Amino acid sequence: MAFDEEKTEGLDEFQPDIYTLEDEDGNEQAFELLDVMDYEGEKYFALTPYMETAEELLEYDGEVVILKSQFEGDEEMMVTIDDDDEYERVGAVFLERLREMYDFEDDEDEGE
């Protein structure tokens, strides 16, 4: 997926980092960056679909997309993680980081 960072110059530090991602079929969708981390020698991104309206927020299902950094020439790309084991490992680390950052409980934790 290619990404373009939208311009945020002049905005305060509380503005979200928004990226427009394009899939293999050319469809574009805006995502908000939740976290970036280096893990096992690779760079990963945790993003969530960007919600502009209150109605979109009410319908939000908590989806988090995890992508990996890959360079094509000088251009950094966000690409899907094809290896299921890698995705699970990175996902678990991001989930723990996001829990700490945003102090939230996962549905799976409610029954414990």
* CB distance 104 to 111 below 8 Å: no
Q: Which structural domain range is residue 100 located in?
A: 34-106
Token readout for 64 is 């988090």
> Looking at the domain assignment, is residue 61 inside a domain?
yes
| In-domain check, residue 38 | yes
Q: Could you tell me if residue 60 is inside a domain?
A: yes
Residue 13, in any domain of the structure:
no
Give the residue ranges of the chain where pLDDT is below 70: 1-14, 104-112
In this structure, is residue 11 part of a structural domain? no
Q: What rounded mean pLDDT belongs to the chain? A: 81
53 is a domain residue? yes
In whole angstroms, give the CA distance from residue 38 to residue 45.
Answer: 9
pTM of the model: 0.72
Number of structural domains in the chain: 1
